């Protein structure tokens, strides 16, 4: 009779016990506290969409009332960001900038837009500005610029 214990990555133990030509194997998994588990990565857009759905804010795509409400939220968050920036409180600027992104995603979801796809198309378009020049600190469109096609979103 022999007992073998092997350590594997992530704290998983494997025990193997041989008794009279019968081999028993057992895997011992460590306890994982679900409250301390890292959050699975998902897009920020998806997080907003899930929150809106649970809050009952996802209406029929292009619902004018829902879109208008999101515009009110955008205006409110924009002024909160300006206020935080003028007070030079870094944590407040971060929070309000994220809130502004959040409600902007909310507007696009209210319009029925696949935000991740739209953002990818705009990002790809921005990369076509290379080579670029600056004018008053802003990147200007270069000769290779292609406008993003968002017509099917």
In order along the chain (153 residues), what is the average pLDDT of each group of 10 residues?
Answer: 53 54 54 59 89 86 90 97 95 97 96 95 91 86 92 93
Whole-angstrom Cα distance, residue 36 to residue 75?
36
62 in any annotated domain? yes
To which residue do tokens 């594997």 refer?
8
102 in any annotated domain? yes
Q: What is the pLDDT of residue 143?
A: 87
87 in any annotated domain? yes
Looking at the 3D structure of the chain, how many domains does it have?
A: 1
Q: What is the pLDDT of residue 21?
A: 59
Q: What is the pLDDT of residue 31?
A: 54
Chain centroid, CA 143 distance in Å: 32
Give the structural domain span for 52: 44-113
75 in any annotated domain? yes
67 in any annotated domain? yes
**Using an 8 Å Cβ cutoff, are 100 and 74 in contact?**
yes
């Amino acid at each position: 009779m022999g007992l073998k214990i092997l350590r594997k990555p992530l704290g998983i133990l494997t025990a193997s016990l041989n008794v009279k030509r019968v081999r028993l194997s057992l895997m011992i998994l460590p306890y994982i506290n679900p409250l301390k588990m890292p959050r699975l990565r998902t897009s920020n857009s998806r997080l907003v969409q899930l929150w809106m759905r649970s809050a009952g804010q996802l209406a029929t795509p292009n619902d004018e009332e829902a879109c208008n409400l999101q515009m009110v939220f955008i205006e409110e968050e924009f002024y909160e960001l300006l206020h935080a920036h003028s007070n030079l409180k870094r944590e407040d600027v971060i929070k309000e900038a994220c809130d502004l992104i959040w409600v902007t995603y909310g507007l696009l979801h209210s319009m029925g837009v696949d935000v991740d796809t739209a953002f990818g198309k705009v990002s790809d378009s921005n990369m076509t500005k290379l080579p670029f020049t600056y004018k008053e600190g802003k990147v200007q469109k270069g000769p290779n610029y292609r406008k993003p096609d968002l017509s099917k979103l």
